[in-house]
Amino acid sequence: MNWMSLDIFSDLDIVLGSQSPRRKKLLESTHISFRVWVIPVNENFPPNLPPVEIAEYLSKQKAAVFKENIPERTIVITADTIVVKDKNILNKASDESQAFEMLRLLSGTTHEVITGVCLTSKNRQTCFHEITRVTFKELADDEINYYIQNFKPFDKAGAYGIQEWIGAVAVTRVEGSYDNVVGLPVARLIEELKIFIRKDFFSI
C-alpha cells in the first residue's frame, strides 16, 4: 500500500472536534474527507504546567468528551492553540482593554505559538505539539486600536489572527509552521495521522 496516498483516509471516518472555522478551512485544504462534531468542554488547565503540556492537556480535555462515543474506524482530531510570551500564557481576550494589553505586550517582540493536537480512536490516542516563533514589529497605539475595532479578535489566543490585517502589517518573521499559528499544523498532522492509521487500523 502506498502510504503517501490519501487513499488511506478514504474508508475512515475523520472527525474534526472543533468549532473553529480556521481549523475547518485548514483541514479542508488537505482534500481529506471529514466531518465536524463539536461537544462543548471546559478549557481550564492546571496553572503550574509548562506551556507545551498546557496545549496538549487542553487538546486531551477536548478529546475526552468524545471517548465514550467514538464509533469503529473513526478518528477524532482535537486541538488547542496557546500564545506564550515570557512564560505567560495569553488566552482569549475578554474585552477591548484586555486585547489592547496583549497586543501591546507582543509589540516589537518575539513570542511562541503552541498548538497541541490529539488523535483519538475507540482504542488508541496519541498527542503531539508544534511550536512556531512569531516576531511583531513595534505597533503604534492607533494600529492596535484599528485592528481591535475592525477585527474584534476576542476568539483568538493572544488577541490576534495572523491571517488577518495584523499579520500582513505587523508580523516580520515566522519561524516554523504558519498554519500552526492559524490553529492547526497541517503538514505535521497529516504525517501523524498516517502513523496513527498504520498502528491502529493496520497493525504495521
Taking only the tens of pLDDT, the chain with its 204 residues reads 344 466 788 889 999 999 999 999 999 999 999 999 999 898 889 888 999 999 999 999 999 999 888 999 999 999 999 999 998 999 899 999 999 999 999 999 999 999 999 999 999 999 999 999 999 999 999 999 999 999 999 999 999 999 999 999 999 999 999 999 999 999 999 999 999 998 877 654
Question: Three-class SS of residue 44?
Answer: coil
Per DSSP bridges, beta strands 74-85 and 110-120 are antiparallel
What is this structure's pTM?
Answer: 0.93
Q: What single-letter DSSP state applies at residue 94?
A: S
Q: Is 95 a residue of the active site?
A: no
Are residues 61 and 42 in contact, defined by beta-carbon separation less than 8 angstroms?
yes
Q: Indicate which residue of 11, 80, 155, 179 is catalytic.
A: 80
> 17 burial class (0-12, 13-18, 19+ CB within 10 angstroms)?
buried
Residue ranges per structural domain of the chain = 6-201
Q: How far is CA 124 from CA 34, 67, 143, in A?
A: 19, 10, 47
Are residues 157 and 39 in contact, defined by beta-carbon separation less than 8 angstroms?
no
6-201 classified as CATH 3.40.190.80: no
Q: Grid coordinates in use for 10?
A: 478514504
Closest by CA to 197, choosing from 4, 29, 54, is 4
Closest by CA to 59, choosing from 15, 130, 115, is 115
Closest by CA to 116, choosing from 170, 43, 47, 36, is 43
> 71 burial class (0-12, 13-18, 19+ CB within 10 angstroms)?
exposed
Are residues 70 and 119 in contact, defined by beta-carbon separation less than 8 angstroms?
no
Q: Grid coordinates in use for 157?
A: 489566543
**Which pLDDT score is estimated for 199?**
84
